[in-house]
């Protein structure tokens, strides 16, 4: 069922069993998990079914610290969320990503990779991925031409990725949601306030608004925030009428530990002889799986470095590409996406690669950011069109990211040299190990994580291992804002898996009336 | 087989003796001509780049910034044994190749002008730079 929030009677009350705030990858995945059940599911989406500039503007905000993309352009605010323009890159987190690592302060999830494994299987299907097998051997059986650059040993391994079509949740799942008898989707339903009981131990209702001037109330047994890492934090912080610090923020953690993946060109790989390096190549819409170079967990521990992966792109193409942080610089996400993606398409079309392959490859890093309490989302003094304080992002990196980056390349450089296949040349910004600065082309992956991090200890996390907000019995958070560390891969697959796990947990509670 | 060609010299006295006769170009064994040719790197870089890498290495390692020193280091195997002056090209080339492989294996690498190199090949570049100033 679907209702447009702009045409509802003012101050009406909507009641249901569970209320999901946000209809992106997390919110839609969870709602679908409850389809055809006896429970009434209320799914609130701030936008409509298509881009609306006035609604998108609600995501605008300031950024400080490490230069970042305009916030308004970094997420899509309509049904389907940012899957409306995501690229579909998927790979599961590694077991080490969940572990407490002595060399990474604030690391360590209260759950293990094994806890997510059954849900990765389900998430694969939601994202229209292939078999849930990320071993290189599996894909090599399908295509023996997938040959690794160097043999896998104790230093390097080939981390496989799969590619979603990419699934546009708004298109793919709209009918299923709208035609559902028990999912009640409300569009133009921007939640502006969460109201708790007097002690703050339970949420009583949510208020949503739109530009019609009317507002509605939603009451449910369980509430799940699934608005993305920046907006989840913003909503909790802005719900501060009863509790000045905001909801779930007794320990001043909401909004802190904002994490991104550092995405940056880092080196050049020069081969002794040309090679297409098919195992590492990617053609949009064609490639089902490819590898990126990764460092074994034992070596990460031995050298005290973060987890990351390295992708390879022929230099003939790479040298013509504009860095994302330069191309993606407009507030309007449609313009930024056109410039960025259009730039890539143009380069691909205009570049003819040698049939025998290239000699030179750009090595591009995607590396986790170490959890950092000073990298954070706060409320700005400026308010949006619905009178909610805008988000302000301070993105801050630490010296560990750069040291890790450099060490990763040293290790890969040594392996490439040892194998006798070529040599690696670091880009200038990595040559001086005392230099802690970042070059102007440093970018992120549009991956927002960590602002309501998970911990069994309320002093260290906003939500517990079941993604329930500490101290609030019926408020949960879905998505990457619950991540404790960022892992190396893009977050979508993992955030959907984590959401499906949360969904199972809430089903159990509802069944037991917990 | 090739290892038999080594004269096992002590690291102290023997090495000095072995190279005493090599200081004058006219009396250098023929294999010296391959010492300043970093084989693998030559597939990737032109001579100008190799010279630049070599010059940079000389600045990074002033204690090695001398042809005889570099030659001595290049002609010493991992066990501290020096090459006999009557060794042939192939033997020395194999020695250098092995040293490079071992350097990478043992993380005996150096970053010079961004290149992650085996210390042995960086020394070859330095020697090339000296010979082509």
Best probe of the A interface among B115, B119, B125, by most A CBs < 10 A, is B115
In chain B, residues with a C-beta closer than 8 Å to the C-beta of A422 are 44
Q: Where are the beta strands (DSSP E) in A85-189?
A: 89-90, 156-163, 183-187
Which stretches within A364-491 are classed as H helix? Answer: 399-419
| Shortest Cα distance, chain A CAs vs residue B75, angstroms | 20
Distance from CA of A440 to the nearest CA of B (A): 18
pLDDT value of position B7: 31
A261 vs A17: CA distance, rounded Å = 36
A271, A418, A431: residue with CB nearest B104:
A418
Checking if the pLDDT of B4 tops 50, the result is no
- Tell me the helix, strand and coil percentages in chain A, rounded to 5: 30, 25, 45
pLDDT over threshold 70, residue B101? yes
Contacts of B113 in chain A (CB under 8 A): 425, 431
Contact A483, A496 (CB under 8 A): no
Q: Give the gap in angstroms from C-alpha A267 to the nearest C-alpha of chain B.
A: 8
Is A366 in contact with A487 (CB distance < 8 Å)? no
For residue B27, give how far its alpha carbon lies from the nearest alpha carbon of chain A (Å): 34
Q: What is the distance between the alpha carbons of residues A338 and A81, in angstroms, rounded to a whole number?
A: 17
Q: Give the tens place of pLDDT for each residue, B30-89.
A: 778 889 999 889 999 999 999 999 999 999 999 999 999 999 999 998 788 888 777 888
What's phi and psi for A478, nearest 5 deg?
A: -110, 145
Task: Give me the pLDDT at residue A514, please.
Answer: 59
Residue of B nearest to A427 (CA): B114
- What's the token pair of residue A123? 């998430």
What phi-psi label fits residue B29: left (phi over 0), alpha (psi between -120 and 50 degrees) or beta?
beta
- Residue B27 has a pLDDT of 58
Q: Under an 8 A CB cutoff, do B41 and A423 touch?
A: yes
Q: What is the pLDDT along chain A (514 residues), one digit of tens a residue?
A: 999 999 999 999 999 999 999 999 999 999 999 999 999 999 999 999 999 999 999 999 999 999 999 999 999 999 999 999 999 999 999 999 999 999 999 999 999 999 999 999 999 999 999 999 999 999 999 999 999 999 877 899 999 999 999 999 999 999 999 999 999 999 999 999 999 999 999 999 999 999 999 999 999 999 999 999 999 999 999 999 999 999 999 999 999 999 999 999 999 999 999 999 999 999 988 999 999 999 999 999 999 999 999 999 999 999 999 999 999 999 999 999 999 999 999 999 999 999 999 999 999 999 999 999 999 999 999 999 999 999 999 999 999 999 999 999 999 999 999 999 999 999 999 999 899 999 999 999 999 999 999 999 999 999 999 999 999 999 999 999 999 999 999 999 999 999 999 999 999 999 987 5
Q: E strand or H helix at B115, and its extent?
A: strand B115-118
Residue among A273, A417, A420 whose CB faces B116 most closely: A417
A423 and B CB contact within 8 Å = yes
pLDDT beyond 60 at B8:
no
pLDDT tens-digit map of A407-446: 999 999 999 999 999 999 999 999 998 999 999 999 999 9
Distance separating alpha carbons of residues A11 and A212, to the nearest angstrom: 12
Contact: B114, A417; criterion CB under 8 Å: no
- Inform me whether the C-beta atom of residue B104 falls under 8 Å from chain A C-beta atoms: yes
Beta bridge partners of A90: A162
Contact A229, A479 (CB under 8 A): yes
Contact check, Cβ <8 Å, A417/B113: no
Nearest by CB to residue A420, choosing from B40, B103, B111, is: B40
Q: Which residues of B15-25 are buried (b: 16+ CB within 10 A; e: fewer)?
A: beebbeebeee
Task: Work out the average pLDDT over B95-108.
Answer: 95
Q: Are A248 and A454 in contact (CB under 8 A)?
A: no
DSSP annotation of B77 reads -
- Does B126 touch chain A if contact means CB atoms closer than 8 Å? no
- Per-residue confidence (pLDDT) for residue A152, from 0 to 100: 73
- CB within 8 Å: A420 and B118: no
Does B9 contact A at CB distance below 8 Å? no
- Confidence (pLDDT) at B11: 30
Q: What is the pLDDT of residue B10?
A: 28
Answer whether A423 sits within 8 Å of B40, measured CB to CB.
yes
Query: Which pLDDT belongs to residue A404?
Result: 98
Q: Is A418 on the interface with B (CB under 8 A)?
A: yes
């Amino acid at each position: 069922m679907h209702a447009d929030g702009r045409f509802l009677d003012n101050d009406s009350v909507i009641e249901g069993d569970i209320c999901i705030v946000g209809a992106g990858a997390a919110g839609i995945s969870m709602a679908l998990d409850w389809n055809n059940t006896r429970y009434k599911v209320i799914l609130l989406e701030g936008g409509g079914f298509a881009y609306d500039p006035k609604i998108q503007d609600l995501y605008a905000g300031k950024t400080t610290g490490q230069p970042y993309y305009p916030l308004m352009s970094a997420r899509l605010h309509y049904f389907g969320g940012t899957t409306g323009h995501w690229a579909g890159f998927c790979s599961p987190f590694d077991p080490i990503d969940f572990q407490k690592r002595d060399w990474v302060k604030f690391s360590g999830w209260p759950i293990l990779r094994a806890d997510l494994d059954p849900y990765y299987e389900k998430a694969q299907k939601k994202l229209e991925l292939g078999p849930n097998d990320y071993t290189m051997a599996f894909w090599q059986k399908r295509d023996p031409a997938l040959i690794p650059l160097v043999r896998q040993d104790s230093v390097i391994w080939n981390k496989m990725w799969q590619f979603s079509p990419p699934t546009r949740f708004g298109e793919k799942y709209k009918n299923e949601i709208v035609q559902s008898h028990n999912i009640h989707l409300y569009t133009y339903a921007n939640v502006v306030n969460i109201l708790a009981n007097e002690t703050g131990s339970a949420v009583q209702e949510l208020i949503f608004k739109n530009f019609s001037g009317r507002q509605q109330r939603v009451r449910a047994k369980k509430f799940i925030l699934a608005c993305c890492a920046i907006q989840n934090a913003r909503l909790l912080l802005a719900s501060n009428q009863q509790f000045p610090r905001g909801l779930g923020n007794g320990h001043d953690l909401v909004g802190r530990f904002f994490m991104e993946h550092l995405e940056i060109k880092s080196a050049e790989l020069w081969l002794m002889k040309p090679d297409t390096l098919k195992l590492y190549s990617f053609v949009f819409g064609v490639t089902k799986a490819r590898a990126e170079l990764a460092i074994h967990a034992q070596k990460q521990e031995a050298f005290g470095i973060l987890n990351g992966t390295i992708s390879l792109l022929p230099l003939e193409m790479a040298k013509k590409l504009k860095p994302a942080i330069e191309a993606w610089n407009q507030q309007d996400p449609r313009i930024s996406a056109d410039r960025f993606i259009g730039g890539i398409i143009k380069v691909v079309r205009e570049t003819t690669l040698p049939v025998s392959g290239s000699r030179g490859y750009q090595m591009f890093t995607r590396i986790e950011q170490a959890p950092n309490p000073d990298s954070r989302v706060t409320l700005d003094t400026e308010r949006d069109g619905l009178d909610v304080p805008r988000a302000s992002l301070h993105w801050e990196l630490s010296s560990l990211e750069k040291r890790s980056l450099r060490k990763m390349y040293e290790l890969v450089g040594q392996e490439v040299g040892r194998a006798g296949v070529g040599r690696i040349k670091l880009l200038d910004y990595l040559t001086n190990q005392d230099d802690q600065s970042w070059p102007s082309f440093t970018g992120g992956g549009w991956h927002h994580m960590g602002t309501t991090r998970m911990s069994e200890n309320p002093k260290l996390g906003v939500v517990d291992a079941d993604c329930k907000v500490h101290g609030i019995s019926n408020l949960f958070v879905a998505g990457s804002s619950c991540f404790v560390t960022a892992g190396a891969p893009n977050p979508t697959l993992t955030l959907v898996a984590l959401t499906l796990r949360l969904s199972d947990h809430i089903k159990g509670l509802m069944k037991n009336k917990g | 087989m090739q290892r038999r060609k080594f004269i096992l010299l002590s690291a102290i006295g023997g090495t000095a003796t072995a190279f005493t006769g090599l200081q004058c170009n006219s009396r250098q064994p023929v294999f010296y001509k391959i010492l300043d040719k970093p084989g693998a790197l030559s597939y990737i870089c032109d001579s100008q780049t190799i010279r630049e890498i070599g010059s940079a290495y000389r600045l990074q390692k002033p204690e090695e910034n001398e042809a005889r020193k570099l030659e001595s280091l290049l002609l010493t195997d991992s066990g501290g044994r020096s090459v006999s002056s009557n060794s042939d090209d192939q033997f020395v080339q194999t020695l250098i190749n092995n040293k490079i492989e071992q350097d990478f294996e043992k993380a005996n690498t150096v970053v010079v002008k961004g290149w992650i190199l085996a210390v042995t090949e960086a020394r070859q570049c330095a020697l090339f730079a000296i010979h082509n100033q």
